[in-house]
Amino acid sequence: MDHLFIGVDVGTGSVRAGCFNAQGHLMAKGEAPIQTWRPAPDFVEQSSEDIWEATGRGIRRCLTAGKIDLKAIKGISFDATCSLVALGENFTPITVSPTGKVNQNIIVWMDHRANPQALAINRAGHEVLRYVGGVISPEMEPPKLMWLKQNLKDTWAGAKKFMDLADYMVYRASGRDCRSLCTTVCKWTYLGHYGNAGTYDLDFFKQNDLLDIFENNRVPMVARPIGELAGELTTQAADELGLISGIPVGVGIIDAHAGGIGSLGPALSEERSTVNAFNQAMALIAGTSSCHMAVSQEPRFINGVWGPYWGAMIPDMWLNEGGQSATGSFIDLTIKNNAEYQHLLEAAAAEDRDIYTHLNHLLEQIKAETGLEKFKNKHLLPYHHGNRSPRADPEARGAATGLTLNTGPEEIALWYGVAIQAVAYGTRHILEAMNDKGYHCCPK
């Protein structure tokens, strides 16, 4: 009997479960949507219970699709968005929402409610900020924790655990609070390179009135490398996920970083040294947002680019992580934010195409007829959710030039093309900033 392994990817909009053989080939997959609440501008919340239930649905669909023998499954591991989970008594959900709804206990990565707190942390300054690109982002956990302490005092007092979502998934599966080197280094300012096992700089948390997160082990002081054994699947978790108890559970990882490992792996198969292979390769992980990930043997301090992070993705190497806070979401908004959207959907359906394929076809027709002439006066600045890299300005905003009164499918197709160009230019901006500090990714 072949050994099989379950990988669970918790994205922003859905949970995807895949079953793989020992050679990494996908045998089957399943997916289930998850809920999101937006109780106020810049507030984005989810539910750990809803995500766990969706995980069970996704895994069952995967097992059914592949007709998988449960006894063949020899391991399970999780990646997830870098969202903050709050748990109260008996490690059940405790609200993070201004609505007070208990089930809304996750502040999603893209939530920017903590902009003022991030600014306060950056004004205070601290040595650890060197390891997050010079300034901390509201997408990271310390500003979110500061917001909770300042605004939801009952939640702060009643919380028994604060966890990154990937670590929560491991905890829910194994019953063990095993924090990942990836999540803690990238989002909690854990210094993975310090000593033998890494540590937190407690002075940073004292300076920002957050030292009490470590009381009663609400946040453990120790993190472990990704992929290590975290524990075994409990009987309760196995019942909830449709699996057999006792399956080994691996230490978790942030979703983009899991993609980074898979994307950078092929670089090592090329006929050049390991150092040069990594130095000339970048992983671009795209979804609601985008991450631009490259590793080096020495730390590279790049203003506005997260990191350098020790051991957060490739073992024993430093990670630099650029990013765009809105890419897929920005393109989708460009398509949907007009009166023609429903007509475009209908036209695409009539041709048995998805809307992106339909728009790409329209763009090809336009370019065949006029070249790039119709694009030259249309421009979009894609900072609708701030600029993550390299400007590191969460309060930056988008802009458009070249607007007219024209409507119709061709006009929307043009703006769709302009949106894709804007994302590409943002990627180029990040690449240039990283290359200026020693990388040779897509050299000029």
Model pTM greater than 0.85?
yes
Rounded to 5 degrees, φ, ψ at 371 are 65, -140
pLDDT reading at 55 higher than 70? yes
Average pLDDT, the chain: 93
Token duo for residue 66: 């592949």
Buried residues in 397-417 as b, exposed as e (16+ CB within 10 A): ebeeeeeeeeeeeebbbbbbb
pLDDT of residue 113: 97
Q: What pLDDT does 269 receive? A: 66
Query: What does the pLDDT read at residue 192?
Result: 92
Token pair listed for 243:
């699996």
Q: What are phi and psi of 9, to 5 degrees?
A: -110, 115
Mean pLDDT, rounded, for 96-119: 97
- The pLDDT score that the predictor gives to residue 401 is 95
Indicate whether 69 pLDDT > 90.
Answer: yes
Sign of CA dihedral 64, 4, 83, 152: positive
Confidence at residue 373, expressed as pLDDT on a 0 to 100 scale = 84
Query: 4-251 adopts what CATH topology?
Result: Nucleotidyltransferase; domain 5 (3.30.420)
CA distance readout (Å), 38 to 104, 150, 321? 10, 20, 27
Share of the chain above pLDDT 90, in %: 82
Phi then psi for residue 117, to 5 deg, are -70, -40
The alpha carbon of residue 395 and the mean position of all alpha carbons in its chain are separated, in whole angstroms, by 19
Q: What's the confidence (pLDDT) of residue 279? A: 85
264: burial class by Cβ within 10 Å (0-12, 13-18, 19+)?
buried
pLDDT at 355 over 60: yes
H helix or E strand, kind and range, residue 71: none
Rounded CA-CA distance 256/289 in Å is 10
Residue 10 has pLDDT above 80, yes or no: yes
Tens digits of residue pLDDT in 166-201: 999 999 999 999 999 999 999 999 999 987 778 999
pLDDT digits (tens, 9 = 90+) for 285-311: 998 899 999 999 999 999 999 999 999
Radius of gyration for the alpha carbons in the chain, expressed in angstroms and rounded: 22
pLDDT of residue 444: 53
Distance from the Cα of residue 212 to its chain's centroid: 27
The pLDDT value given to residue 1 = 62
The predicted structure's pLDDT at residue 274: 57
| Tokens matching residue 258 | 């899991």
Burial tier of 360 (Cβ tally within 10 Å: 0-12, 13-18, 19+): middle
| Residue 270 pLDDT > 70 | no
3-state secondary structure of 18: strand
pLDDT greater at residue 374 or residue 184: 184
Q: Where are the domains of the chain?
A: 4-251, 271-326, 328-429
Cα(272)–Cα(279) distance, integer angstroms:
11
pLDDT at 77: 97
Residue 378 CA to residue 402 CA, distance in Å, equals 4
DSSP 216: G
Q: What is the DSSP string of 120-172?
A: HHHHH--GGGGGGTSS--TTSHHHHHHHHHHH-HHHHHH-SEEEEHHHHHHHH
Q: What class does CATH assign to 328-429?
A: mainly alpha
What SS3 state is found at 108? coil
